[in-house]
Every structure is written in structure tokens, then in C-alpha cells.
A and B are shown apart, each in its own frame.
Chain A
């Protein structure tokens, strides 16, 4: 596909709104779709579905473990259940229920984890989910997708409903840049090149895709050709696009709004060390809890902005050059 061009000014919209709108699309097209929520109807934006399909909407209250296992029972009876809560609770509080009731049974339960990442802001560390990738991708049968913007969230949610197994979909809280549009290709499990390049590749997911695209433009001004890959699906992982990027550009930067432990960077590195080792730098939160603050200041303080991606590119290029000279 053609390179993604960022609009100026870039429009802003919430990924969770894409989730909410997709649920309405699904409610209209598939009578098996049911939605549950744990006392967060407005903020997970399942309210749109609840208004339109009240008979297929279940408020479960503050009981995430119960909600996850209920979803398994609904799915075993032929429904396509979604449940939504904050990612911190969806992934950590109900991890055992996801593992045993849902994933071991391989039932088509779809989990909407809102409020992922440091950009959750003032609520602080408890509500800034940054461990979901590690938890969810370690559980067999689970799929994991991290949409980059409103449109991708909407497409990913619809795609998740069509899959035969369980899927975790990660959303953020804030308005984030809209980098795609309704017609941008989206295939579950397939990465997409959002910007061509030959010197180095940035593999990003979620809001970090926007930062990667900005870093690409900044590096172009310095004469460096940066490829940007949108790797929205962290599991199953598109190994081919990762290996191809390593082979063709010789250096990889990963960028995610998540702990460095067990996240996108780790997933990419697992592929590369086995198939085509090249230098890798990881832009992520480095093994620390978040804190209260404004989203933008937190993203900067935790090293998740365009300049951090630029620095990582420069570091990995230096390592690539050192390799070549060795």
C-alpha cells in the first residue's frame, strides 16, 4: 500500500469509540453478539450497543472474574460474547478465568480492554494497564490486537468477532491521532507497511505508530530512510513481515505503550533471534509502574514520544554500522 500521510493538523479520536461503534455494527449484522460490562458502560463505550440492543446487553457489576467466566458459558451456548472493562482488570484480575474457562476451552470470547498504557493519565499506575501483552500472549489459543486509531479499532473489533477463537483487543483512554481511514487495509494477523524505507525499520503498535511515523519524517530530513510497520496483531504474530524487515533494512526498533517485559519488542525479538538476528532497540516502558500526570507529559517522561523513537533509531543504526565494520 501507499505510505500513510499524516494530516495536518491530525484529527484526534478515541480508539474505544471505534470499539463502541463496531459493536453496534456487529449487533446489527450478527444476532449472536452479546455484550457485557463491569460497571464501566460509558467509559468503555459499550453504551452505544446497550442503547440499541438492551436485551443483548448485560451489566455484570464490579466482578471481572465472574464476567469472564460468564462469557465462556455464553460462548459454549453459541453466542459471540464481548466483555469490556479496563485492561488492568481484564488482563490481571481475570487472567485465570481467561486461561481456564475461555482459552483452554478455545471459546470465541472477545475481550475489550480499555484504558491501556501510560496515557491513561491522572488515574495513575493502578489504572494504566501495561502488562496485558505479556499476560495474554503467553496463554495458548489467545489472539491479541492493539489498534492504532479509531478506524483500526473499529475494523479490529469486527474482525475479532469473525474469528473462531478468543481475542483480546486493547484500547486507550485518550483521543489519539487518526492515521488511517475507512479504506486502509486491515487483515487480522497481518502487519502492514505504513511507510517504505531501507535503512532501518520501526515496528509499532497502538498510539506508538503515530510517533513512529513522525520519527520517520524527522529521520528523512537527516537522510535516513525509515520503514514503519504497523504490527497491530501481536498474536498471532506476522513473522514474515518482521523477518523481511530485518533482511532488507538490517536494524529494528520496536515501539509500544507497554512494559518492555514480554511485550511487542520481546515478541519481535523472539522471531529475530531464531530466524534473522539483527540489532534491536525497544521503545517501551522499562519495568516501572506509571504515575499520575497529564497524558502528554507522561508519554514524554516515560520515553514514548517521537524524540525517543528517533534516539532509538540512531542507537540501532550505530549498532548496525558497528556490526558492518566488525
Chain B
């Protein structure tokens, strides 16, 4: 796995104008744009966490690369009309990664970027865990682990009933695989041959209490999914090109659901967070956040000003 963020110059970031980001349908970003977007998302995540004073750092940062590919290449969305009938259905079963969920939504144009600075605040609409009632674009509330793949089966069955081409994307965690309901759903999606369903597992190998394999082992995860009759695609979850290929392979596969095992690093992009389970559920303090944003090529003040202006 790549453990460093590839160099992106500021002009590449500046080229990601709102009219491109907020497009209806597929945003169609290429590799360079996707890498720039991932950098932007990591800056958003750190900045909003510093100001929130609570929330999760590690998982959102490990999701930032495949998250960018999903929202800015793979999925067909309409941020101005979240209930657009042609939309692809996306759902983060790991509700606690709201910093990446909301950064993706904000950058895609679901709501103004300044809303990110009200994350977890009483007078904002961005709950600690995603809420359909509070945030237009959230399809189903989440936060109790293990439920999301089932939710996505419902969406995939509905798309099939309606005989349309809409696809369904479910992001799960690796620790989450310890929930029994996940395996009810894994069985069910294969039973119904839901090839319009693509799961992504953020396989960063860490959970709150430590290493997943020490807490409650899930390996060999690929073999488990294969045994349940899924199409399994393993990718470097920080290599945008590999991720693009993974989603294309999933789309092309017929007759079975697909899962991308995205091998990632918890806290990816921030030197002092990377691969350290202690960053699962806490935010950076102000000075830590300032250091992180310098590592990400900007400053806390500059990025906060950008968000507040958006």
C-alpha cells in the first residue's frame, strides 16, 4: 500500500471548479482530478474535526481515495436534487466516518462547504452519525454497525423491480465484519444474485480497541466472501487507478454481487496518525490539526477560510 499522499500542485486543486464538482450524473473526473480531490477531502476532514472537537479521524482518512472515486467518477448523482430518480444509491454502513461522508457531499455540492464547520454542532445539520431526517442526500440513517449491507440489498432489489440501471454502493468497515447481520446480508445478496450491488470494505485493519486480528479476527476475508459466492476484487485502497479498475470490474461482473476489498491505512495522509488505531475515534487538537494541514500542503487558517467562504 502507498503510505504517502502523491504530490498534487495547487493549480490542479484550483481546476476543480464547483461547476465540475456539482455536475448532475457522473462527474467524470480523471486520475489527476481524483488525486487532487482526495487531497482536498483530507484537508476538509482535518479542518472540520479540529473545530468540532470530537469525531473520528482514522477511518475518514482511509476512505478518502475510494470515496473520491465513488463520488466524482463512479456514481451518477444529482446533488441539487438528492432524490433524483436516476441516482445511484450510496450508503456508508460505517456511520461514524461522517467527516468523509460530509466532505464528499459538500465538495459534490449537496450543501455549502461552510456547513462542514458546523459538524456535530447543535445549530448545524450534520449529525455525529448520518441522519436522513437532518441531511438531504443521506438515504438511510446509520451508526449502529452491521446494518448497511442489508439496507443496500433493499435498494438493489428495488432497482431490479423497477427494471432500471441504477447501481447501489455500500461502504463497510473491516471491524464491522464482526457483526452477525453482515453475514446474513452477504448470504442474501448472493442468493438474490444482486449484480447491481457493489460493496467496498475499508480494510485498514484497525478498530477502536486495536488490530482487528487481535480483537476478533476476520481473516481470510477474501476467502469468506468467495465462499459466500461473491465476486471479490482486491485493490490498493489508496491507488486511484486501481480503484477505478476495481469499480469497472465490479460493474462488468454479472450474476453476483461484487466486493472491493480496499486495502487501506487508517489515518492515511497524516504522518502521526497513519496506521495507529488510537486515531480511530478522536479528533486532532488545534496544534495537531495545524501540523496535519501543513503536511497536506496548506494551513489551518487558509483552509478554514476556504470552507467558510464556500
Contact = CB atoms under 8 A, between A and B. Distances in A.
Interface of A: 34, 55-56, 58, 60-61, 63, 65-79, 81, 96-97, 99-101, 104-107
Contacts of A69: 147-148, 150-151, 153-154, 181, 185
Given A58-B192, A66-B153, 12 more contacts: A69-B154, A69-B181, A70-B188, A73-B152, A73-B158, A76-B154, A77-B89, A79-B161, A99-B144, A100-B144, A104-B132, A106-B133
B161 A66 contact: no
A34 B156 CA distance: 14
Nearest to A64: B184
B143 A63 contact: no
Given A70-B153, A81-B154, A63 B141 contact: no
A111 B153 CA distance: 18
A151 to B, nearest CB: 31
B140 interface: yes
Contacts of A99: 144
A34 B161 contact: yes
13 contacts: A63-B188, A66-B181, A69-B148, A69-B154, A69-B185, A72-B147, A73-B89, A73-B153, A74-B155, A79-B154, A79-B158, A79-B161, A97-B144
**Is the contact region of chain A dominated by helix, strand, or loop, or is it mixed?**
helix
Contacts of A78: 158
B155 A76 contact: yes
A104 B151 CA distance: 14
Contact of B154 (A63, A70, A96): A70
B77 to A, nearest CB: 15
B159 interface: yes
Contacts of B187: 61, 63
B139 interface: yes
Among B91, B132, B143, B192, the most chain A Cβ lie within 10 Å of the Cβ of: B132
List of 6 A-B pairs having minimum Cβ-Cβ separation, nearest first: A73-B154, A69-B150, A77-B158, A66-B184, A63-B184, A74-B154
Nearest to B170: A73
